[in-house]
Structure 1
Amino acid sequence: MDRPFPPYELDVTIRDFLFGSAAGHDNKLNDFLHRLGPVACGTLRTMIHNPFANGSMPGSWKMGDTIPIPKPGKDPCRPESYTPITLSVLLKLTEGMIRRRLSALLPHHPRQFGFTRSRSSSDVVTIVIGKITRGLNEFGIVKYERPGGGAPTRHAHRHRSLVVLIDFSTAFDTVDDGKLFGMLDRLRRLSPRTKRWLHNYLRGRYVRVCTREQHSRKQLTSAGAPQGSVPGPQLFLHCVDDLLRRLDNIYSAAAFMHADEQTLVASGADIHACAAGMQPALSLISTWAAEHNLKINVAKSEAALFYISLHTLSDGDMVDLHLGNGQIRIQSRSVRLLGTTIDRLLNFGTHAPTASKQTMPRR
């Protein structure tokens, strides 16, 4: 990890940079990097390695210009409706070279699918649908009283599946740096020099907002993974991997994550059994979020019950799950998981027409 950066590492990282990207506060463009000669590349490689070897970073590289990009369909008058993109070409180049080394030293939990090579949101959707189907294919025996009396009849009864989608509010911006530092310090695979550089990288960062060629005053950031950075997602995933490891000890519910979006699946004979299996996982998540200063948006979190047979009276019961500082009501409804609408009968009657329109060629 501490060895000098060879020329091929710089070449491969520059090759990944796209032409035409916007410049940062230093007015450097990605196109500039693609046109560097051998001598300039050697000088740039030395500029990157020397601060890394000392466990430091130039102060000018910690200054980021943040350009707010409006989210589609959101109210433009609300600050949370914008995605901040921070631009700094030299810093992103340094991050890209170090990320390649960090990825081998920071393996992620097998049920984390965000920002991970050879994994995508489609994997989460496929696995969750498989878990739902497996639960619906389990059977129990239910006794029904005969209207005229006599011995009750016994019928096979399909189980139910419960899916909970948890929304963390601004998780990247509010992750506790102190907790993250503690986790990094406990990693024996990281050398003291690398840990020192990561501490320096996360501390003392300034941002300012740029819009319509106007700049705000710079502001010191006190928490969160660097927005728009290259290793920022890796560091964030390393933090939330701790949650997935804790959830490994709860066998009544299966948990999956795509970056900061969490999905849980539990199965049971009826809605009450599903809720009983899901609640321990939700209680653990609430405790973990409080420990790491992360807020759970209960209003945007969902709980959906999936079932096929209709002759179970308890399916209509009002059952609430405790999550964070609130409650979410279990309902039989469609849910939108990472861009895919999953309906109760799993026939994709709602999602298929929408996906078909999106893939139709424009004329």
Structure 2
Amino acid sequence: MKLSKITPLFKAGSESDPSNFRPVSVLPALSKVFEKIMLDQLSLHFNKNKLLHNKQYGFTKGRSTIDAGVKLISDIFNAWEESYDGVGVFCDLSKAFDCVHPDILVGKLQHYGVDGKASSLMNSYLKGRIQRVHVNGVTSPGSQVSMGVPQGSILGPFLFLIYINDLPFFVNEVHEMVLFADDTSLLFKVNRNNVLLDDVNNSISRIVNWFNVNNLLLNENKTKCIRFTTTSVKRDIGNLKIKDSELNFVDKTVFLGITIDSKLQWGPHIETLSNRLSSAAYAVKKIRQFTDEDTAKIVYHSYFHSVMSYGILLWVLLQRFNPYLCCRSGLFGVFVVFLRGSRLQKINHSLYGNCIRFYNKLPSEIRELSLNKFKALVKRKLINKAFYKFEDYLNDPNPWD
């Protein structure tokens, strides 16, 4: 039940460096049944009592990496709308799932009402685990695992969410935070003309202290900072600090698979995407020469379409998106939605504005549908019409006929 078989999977770099291998853990089938029952009970308890923080987007029902991206981009535009710059700090935790301290986790579970026999069961589940490494047909002797949530388990990701759930309470409410499991991103509003980073540095110090207390290790070399601004000339605002180390600002970074740049112009992301799609298109073309059309379509959707469509809501118009939309979920039962005025033209002509224009052009019988039927019908209609540009939809007198 508590024995795992580890197979190292080579990633890149030197094969003599163990850190260049990703451990793939395989657990007994019976333990998966046990974990599924525990997960159902835990998730029911946390969801029913609304215990998970709303800043957490990872491994939560109805939320995805795109929702996290929408939240971050929206926060940046809100800062710009208020004439602030945004300072983003993208934290990198080293082997976060492997650093979870079982005693701390059990204590947090008790804090959230998982006590008595349930607490004893969880304590037994986390401790006394054994792992063996399997390489080239040879299996090592078993060694005890004293830290971390079980890798490859059904329950592990949710346990990590519980472990990190109290982190947002250590950040001032005026600052924004987006969590996706162990990916921690912060956004601070700073005055463009008189920048003082003392408050930012104090907040970072509190977060680093939380990491230390909870046995998590922040990788300072991989933690990135970006100053999000609309101005052409950037004033020198100094550096952020983690303990005695300075964090230098960069112009771009990768956030949940999407390259974000300091002005949200998306050029670096599109360049990266173009290179990947070029390779994928070549692969599809070659495979089509030796296979039938159906097989080529499978390859296309796996290697081209999935890459092309990922995060497209964030960058497709090179503009802003707002979590009101898909319009339907947040505006159920509303028949006309008014576009909020903005002093920035790019916001008025952003995806945020266009989504509301899209919604207002819908026939009333479509607006009145339930959410699932609404999404299915709209998707089917748009596929059938195949508008090349959003303006084609707006200019069509009868787009839903």
TM-score when normalising by structure 2: 0.65
Q: Which amino acid aligns with 2:147?
A: A
Partner of 2:245: 326
Deviations 1:276-322 (A, max 9, x none): 342232111111111112111000001111212235xxx34261212
| 2:204 maps to 1:282 | yes
Aligned to 1:132: 76
CA apart distance, 1:82: 2.5
Structure 1 gap segments, 5+ residues each? 1-60, 140-158
Preserved CA contact (<8 Å) 2:55 2:168: yes
CA deviations 1:91-127 (Å, max 9, x no partner) are 1221122211211123421111111112111111111
Larger strand share, 1 or 2: 1
Corresponding residue of 2:266: 348
Conserved in 2, the CA contact under 8 Å of 1:318 and 1:330?
no
Q: Does 1:268 align with 2:181?
A: no
- What is the CA–CA distance in structure 2 between the aligned matches of 1:245 and 1:352, rounded to whole Å? 36
Q: Which has the higher contact order (CA 8 A, sep 6+)?
A: 1
The alpha-carbon distance between structure 1 residues 108 and 271, as it changes in their structure 2 partners (threshold 3 A), is farther
One-letter amino acid of the structure 2 residue matched with residue 341 of structure 1: T
- Alignment match of 1:292 (pick from 205, 214, 228): 214
Query: Quick check: 2:93–2:182 contact (8 Å CA) kept in 1?
Result: yes
Q: Say if 1:165 and 1:303, in contact at 8 Å, map to a contact too.
A: yes
**Which deviates more, 272-281 or 262-271?**
272-281
The question of whether the paired residues in 2 share the 8 Å contact of 1:272 and 1:319 is answered with no
Q: Alpha-carbon deviation of 1:203?
A: 0.8
Q: Is the 8 A contact 1:171 1:294 kept in 2?
A: yes
Q: What SS class does the counterpart of residue 298 from structure 1 fall into?
A: coil
Aligned residue pairs, count: 276
Choose which of 294, 308, 315 in structure 1 pairs with 2:230: 308
Q: Is the 8 A contact 2:195 2:237 kept in 1?
A: no
Aligned to 1:31: none
Matching of residue 92 in structure 1 with residue 32 in structure 2: yes
Q: Is the 8 A contact 1:335 1:342 kept in 2?
A: yes
CA distance in 2, matches of 1:206, 1:341: 39
Distance 1:271 1:302 in 2: 23
Partner of 1:233: 157
Match of 1:210 among 134, 139, 142: 134
Match of 1:317 among 232, 236, 239: 236
1:80 paired residue among 19, 31, 38: 19
Alpha-carbon distance between aligned partners in 1 of 2:15 and 2:200, rounded to the nearest angstrom: 36
Q: 1:237–1:112: structure 2 CA closer, same or farther, 3 Å change rule?
A: same
CA contact (8 A) 1:108 1:241 kept: yes
TM, length-normalised to structure 1: 0.71
Distance 1:81 1:292 in 2: 26
Matches within 5 A, 1:13-92: 61-71=1-11, 73-87=12-26, 88-92=28-32
- Counterpart of 1:164? 89
Give the stretch that moved more between structures: 230-239 or 265-274.
265-274
How many angstroms does 1:66 deviate by? 1.0
Secondary structure at 1:299 match in 2:
coil
Separation in 2, partners of 1:186, 1:177: 14
CA contact (8 A) 1:267 1:277 kept: no
CA contact (8 A) 1:296 1:324 kept: no
Structure 1 counterpart of 2:61, one-letter code: R
- Structure 2 residue runs of 5 or longer lacking an equivalent are 286-401
- Tell me the distance in 2 between the aligned counterparts of 1:116 and 1:211: 35
Is 1:246 aligned to residue 246 of structure 2?
no
Identity across matched positions, percent:
27
How far apart are residue 84 of structure 1 and its match? 1.8
Q: CA–CA distance in 2 between the matches of 1:86 and 1:287?
A: 31
Q: Relative to 1, partners in 2 of residues 1:324 and 1:220: Cα closer, same or farther, differing over 3 Å?
A: farther
* SS of 2:69 mapped into structure 1: helix
Instruction: Give the equivalent residue in structure 2 for 1:255.
Output: 177
1:187-230 residue CA offsets vs partner (Å, 9 max, x unmatched): 32x35222111111001000011122111121101111111111
The SS at the match of 1:245 is helix
| 1:162-209: CA deviation from partner (whole Å, max 9, x where unpaired) | 111001111111112121121122332x35222111111001000011
Code of the aligned partner of 1:282:
I
CA offset at residue 264 of structure 1? 0.4
Shift in alpha-carbon separation, 1:177–1:352, aligned structure 2, 3 A: same
CA distance in 2, matches of 1:83, 1:176: 21
Structure 2 CA distance for aligned equivalents of residues 325 and 114 of structure 1: 31
| Partner Cα separation in structure 2 for residue 237 and residue 82 of structure 1 | 25
Question: What secondary structure, in the 3-state scheme, does the structure 1 residue paired with 2:166 have?
Answer: helix
Tell me which residue corresponds to 2:350.
none
Distance 1:95 1:258 in 2: 22
Q: Per-residue deviation at 1:329?
A: 1.8
Q: What secondary structure, in the 3-state scheme, does the structure 2 residue paired with 1:295 have?
A: coil
Residue aligned with 2:55, SS = coil
Q: Separation in 1 of the partners of 2:243 and 2:39?
A: 34
